[in-house]
Amino acid sequence: MPERDLTPLYPFSAVVGLADLRLALLLNAVSPAIGGVLVRGEKGTAKSTVVRALAGLLPRVDVVAGCRFGCDPASPYGACPDGPHEAGQDAVVRRAKLVELPVGATEDRLVGALDLERALTAGQAAYSPGLLAGAHRGVLYVDEVNLLHDHLVDLLLDAAAMGEAYVERDGVSVRHAARFLLVGTMNPEEGELRPQLLDRFGLAVQVRAPREPAERVEVVRRRLAYEADPAGFAARWADADAELAERIDTARRRLPAVTLPDAELTRIAHVCATFEVDGLRADLVVARAALALAAWHGRDRVTAQDVRDAARLALPHRRRRDPFDAPDLDEQSLEDALNSAPPPADPGGGGSRADGDPGEQDSSGASGARDRETRGDGGRDTGPDGDLDGDGDLDGDGPDGSGPDDGPDDDGPGPGGPGGAAPGGDGAPPRPVAHGETQQQRDRADEGRYATAGQQHAEAATPRRARLFAVAGVGEGAAGRRSPAYTRMGRTVGARAPGGALAALHLAATVRAAARQQHARGRVPGGPLRLVAADLREPVRQGRESNLVLFCVDASGSMAARRRMGAVKGAVLSLLLDAYQRRDKVGLVTFRGSDAELALPPTSSVEAGAARLRELPTGGRTPLAAGLRRAAHTLRVERLRDPYRRALLVVVTDGRATAGTDPVGEAMRIADGLAAGGVSAVVVDCESGVVRLGLAARLAARLGAEHVPLAEVTAQGLAGVARRDRRRAA
Domain containing residue 68: CATH number: 3.40.50.300
User: Is 682 in a helix, a strand, or coil?
Assistant: strand
The reply to whether 126 falls in a domain is: yes
Q: Which of 178-187, 427-436, 514-523 shows the lowest per-residue confidence on average (mean pLDDT)?
A: 427-436
Domain endpoint, select from 506, 528, 544? 544
According to DSSP, the residues that pair with 61 across neighbouring strands are 94
Q: Is the peptide bond before 84 cis (omega within 30 degrees of 0)?
A: yes
Residue 729 binned pLDDT confidence (cut-offs 50, 70, 90) = low
User: Any long-range contacts for 216-223 (C-beta under 8 Å, 24+ apart)?
Assistant: 218/16, 219/16, 219/17, 219/46, 222/14, 222/16
**Domain match, 260 and 339 both:** yes
**Domain match, 458 and 606 both:** yes
**Domain match, 524 and 551 both:** no
**Domain match, 518 and 596 both:** no
> d(Cα 633, Cα 643) in Å, to the nearest integer?
15
Q: What is the mean pLDDT of residues 314-332?
A: 69
CA-CA distances (angstroms) from residue 598 to 455, 509, 586, 628, 727? 18, 49, 12, 11, 43
> d(Cα 186, Cα 48) in Å, to the nearest integer?
10
Looking at the predicted structure, is the pLDDT value of residue 348 above 50? Answer: no
User: Is 684 in a helix, a strand, or coil?
Assistant: strand
Q: How many domains does the chain have?
A: 4
Q: What is the mean pLDDT of residues 239-250?
A: 90
pLDDT tens digits, residue range 1-14? 344 446 788 888 88
**Domain match, 553 and 534 both:** no
Alpha-carbon dihedral sign for residues 223, 227, 228, 234: positive
The answer to whether the CB of 658 falls within 8 A of the CB of 450 is: no
Percent of the chain with pLDDT over 90: 15
Q: What is the mean pLDDT of residues 230-258?
A: 90
pLDDT tens digits, residue range 375-410? 334 333 333 333 323 333 333 333 333 333 333 333
Q: What is the mean pLDDT of residues 103-116?
A: 73
**Domain match, 150 and 176 both:** yes
The reply to whether 697 falls in a domain is: yes
Residue 9, Cβ neighbours under 10 Å: how many? 17
> d(Cα 147, Cα 190) in Å, to the nearest integer?
8
pLDDT tens digits, residue range 119-153? 555 555 567 788 888 888 888 888 888 777 777 77
**Domain match, 538 and 661 both:** no
Q: Would you state the pLDDT for residue 701? A: 94
Q: How many CA atoms lie within 13 A of 192 on its CB side?
A: 24
Looking at the predicted structure, is the pLDDT value of residue 424 above 70? Answer: no
The reply to whether 368 falls in a domain is: no
The reply to whether 498 falls in a domain is: yes
Q: Max CA-CA distance within the chain?
A: 102
**Domain match, 532 and 631 both:** no
The reply to whether 658 falls in a domain is: yes
Domain endpoint, select from 359, 376, 407? 359
> d(Cα 502, Cα 117) in Å, to the nearest integer?
6
The answer to whether the CB of 561 falls within 8 A of the CB of 530 is: no
- Highest mean pLDDT, choosing among 45-54, 164-173, 330-339: 45-54
The reply to whether 653 falls in a domain is: yes
447 or 703, which is more confident: 703
Q: Which helix H or strand E contains 107, and what residues bound it?
A: helix 107-111
Q: Would you state the pLDDT for residue 315? A: 87
Helical ranges in 280-410 per DSSP H = 281-296, 304-314, 331-339
The reply to whether 389 falls in a domain is: no
Residue closest to 482 by CA, chosen among 638, 641, 648? 648
Burial class (CB in 10 A: 0-12, 13-18, 19+), 175: middle
pLDDT tens digits, residue range 261-287? 999 999 999 888 888 787 788 899 999
**Domain match, 413 and 562 both:** yes
**Mean of per-residue pLDDT scores for the chain:** 75
Residue 407, Cβ neighbours under 10 Å: how many? 12
Residue 353 binned pLDDT confidence (cut-offs 50, 70, 90) = low
The answer to whether the CB of 476 falls within 8 A of the CB of 541 is: no
The catalytic residues are: 281
**Domain match, 136 and 99 both:** yes
CATH number of the domain at 715, please: 3.40.50.410
Q: Would you state the pLDDT for residue 360? A: 39
Looking at the predicted structure, is the pLDDT value of residue 458 above 70? Answer: no
Looking at the predicted structure, is the pLDDT value of residue 562 above 90? Answer: no
Within 461-536, strands assigned E span 479-487, 491-496
pLDDT tens digits, residue range 638-675? 999 888 899 999 999 888 877 767 888 899 999 999 99
Q: Would you state the pLDDT for residue 261? A: 92
Domain endpoint, select from 142, 164, 186? 186
Looking at the predicted structure, is the pLDDT value of residue 464 above 70? Answer: yes
**Domain match, 573 and 641 both:** yes
The reply to whether 688 falls in a domain is: yes
**Domain match, 593 and 634 both:** yes
Range of the domain at 683: 395-432+443-471+547-730
Q: Would you state the pLDDT for residue 670? A: 93
Q: Would you state the pLDDT for residue 210? A: 81
CATH number of the domain at 314, please: 1.10.8.80
